[in-house]
């Protein structure tokens, strides 16, 4: 519970920051996904072979048998990713036992830095049952392309870099078909209503 309370404060602070940024024209990493042009029920994605945060194999079957909420991001993300993962933790708490009917997934768009071990450490800071996904950079790039996710490396001063990426979470049904998205600008109530409908089928 303590982690959730701390996470809630983070969520509020970041939401205020994001709202202000959007009001003055947006920020680079709040990129829209091509899935915005998909109709609900449309097939999404393709075959892939990656690993989770424990090094275990992960394939497209992760998006089968249960509806899923997926965030594509990276562990060095300053705002969108910790906010999204905090939301997942809060949704899981709100859903209670129904959270077991849903799969939360975090796919890195920065596999060069986000090894399985790095994902394990990062995700352990959030009270959410999230499956992390990483792997060979070329395989990750192919997977994100199949799922119509935008990502781009952006050089920073000093030789470091950050990543621009799709900020919306992707909702899929138990057959892996596209259901919709949750946008960072949506209210907590609107987002939670979408998650409840996803669980209910």
**pLDDT of the chain along its 201 residues, tens only?**
444 444 444 444 344 334 333 322 233 333 444 555 678 889 999 999 999 999 999 999 999 999 999 999 999 999 999 999 999 999 999 999 999 999 999 999 999 999 999 999 999 999 889 999 999 999 999 999 999 999 999 999 989 999 999 999 999 999 999 999 999 889 999 999 999 999 998
> By C-alpha distance, which of 100, 129, 126, 87 is closest to 199?
100
Whether the model clears a pTM of 0.85, i.e. scores above it, the answer is: no
Domain containing residue 128: CATH number:
3.40.30.10
Distances (CA, A) of 165 to 7, 8, 29, 66, 98: 22, 23, 5, 25, 30
- Identify the pLDDT of residue 5: 41
Q: Could you tell me which residues come within 8 angstroms of residue 163 by beta carbon, excluding any fewer than 6 positions away?
A: 29, 73, 74, 76, 77, 109, 110, 151, 152, 153, 154
Q: Report how many domains make up the chain.
A: 1
> By C-alpha distance, which of 94, 69, 80 is closest to 4?
94
Neighbours of 156 (CB within 10 A): 9
- Identify the pLDDT of residue 30: 37
Neighbours of 25 (CB within 10 A): 6
Range of the domain at 48: 2-200
């Amino acid at each position: 519970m303590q982690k959730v309370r701390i996470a809630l404060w983070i969520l509020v602070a970041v939401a205020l920051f994001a709202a202000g940024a959007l009001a003055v024209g947006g920020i680079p990493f709040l990129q829209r996904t091509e899935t915005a042009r998909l109709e609900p029920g449309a097939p999404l994605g393709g075959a892939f072979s990656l690993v989770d945060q424990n090094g275990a194999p992960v394939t497209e079957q992760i998006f089968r048998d249960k509806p899923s909420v997926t965030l594509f991001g990276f562990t060095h993300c300053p705002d969108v990713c910790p906010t999204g993962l905090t939301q997942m933790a809060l949704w899981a708490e709100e859903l209670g036992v129904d959270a077991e009917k849903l799969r939360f997934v975090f796919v890195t768009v920065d596999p060069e830095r986000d090894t399985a071990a790095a994902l394990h450490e990062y995700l352990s800071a959030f009270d959410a049952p999230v499956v992390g996904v990483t792997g060979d950079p070329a395989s990750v790039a192919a997977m994100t392309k199949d799922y119509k996710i935008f990502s781009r490396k952006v050089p920073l001063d000093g030789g470091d870099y950050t990543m621009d990426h799709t900020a919306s979470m992707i909702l899929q049904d138990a057959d892996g078909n596209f259901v919709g998205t949750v946008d960072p600008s949506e209210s907590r109530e609107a987002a939670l209503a979408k998650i409840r409908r996803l669980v209910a089928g």
